[in-house]
Amino acid sequence: MAKRRKKANKVRRRSRSGIGFGASSMLMDVLGVTAGAVIAKKIPKMLPNMDAKITNAAAVVAGVVAPKFIKNPLVAAVGQGMIAVGGVGLVGSFLPALGAADEVLILSGTDDINTVNGIDEISTVNGLDEIGNIDDLEM
C-alpha cells in the first residue's frame, strides 16, 4: 500500500486587515515624507546665492527624480515630501498671497503683551492698591 500524501497548508483567501496590520509601512511613509520635507527645507541653505524660485524648483525636480533612480518605498516617500515642500515654496514665490508666510502677524493690535494679559495694572483691575490693601470704597 502506498504512502498517503500529506495535506498542504490551507491558503488564506482573505486579506489581513485591522488596526495593527500595515502600521509599520505607514510609519515608514510618515518618516520618509518628514525626511523629504526636512531635506527640501535645507536646499535653499545649500544654495544661498540662488533665487527662491530656482531652489524650490530644484526641490520639486529632486523629489520627482529620486524615486526613478532608487526603487524603494522609503525613497518614494522622501520624494513626496520634497515635492510637497518644494511645490508650496514655488507657489509662494510666484503668488505670495497663496504661499506659506515666513512672518508671524500680531493680531492683537499692540506690541505690549503685558498690557494685554493684565500684568501692568493688575492691582487697579482687582481693586487692590499698590501695597496690597483693599481700596477704601466710598458708599
Task: Tell me, rounded to whole angstroms, the distance of Cα 122 from its chain centroid.
Answer: 39
Task: Give per-residue pLDDT as tens, 27-65.
Answer: 889 999 999 999 999 988 888 888 888 999 999 999 999
C-alpha cell at 130: 499698590
Q: What is the mean pLDDT of the chain?
A: 76
Q: Are 12 and 57 in contact (CB under 8 A)?
A: no
Q: What is the pTM assigned to this prediction?
A: 0.57
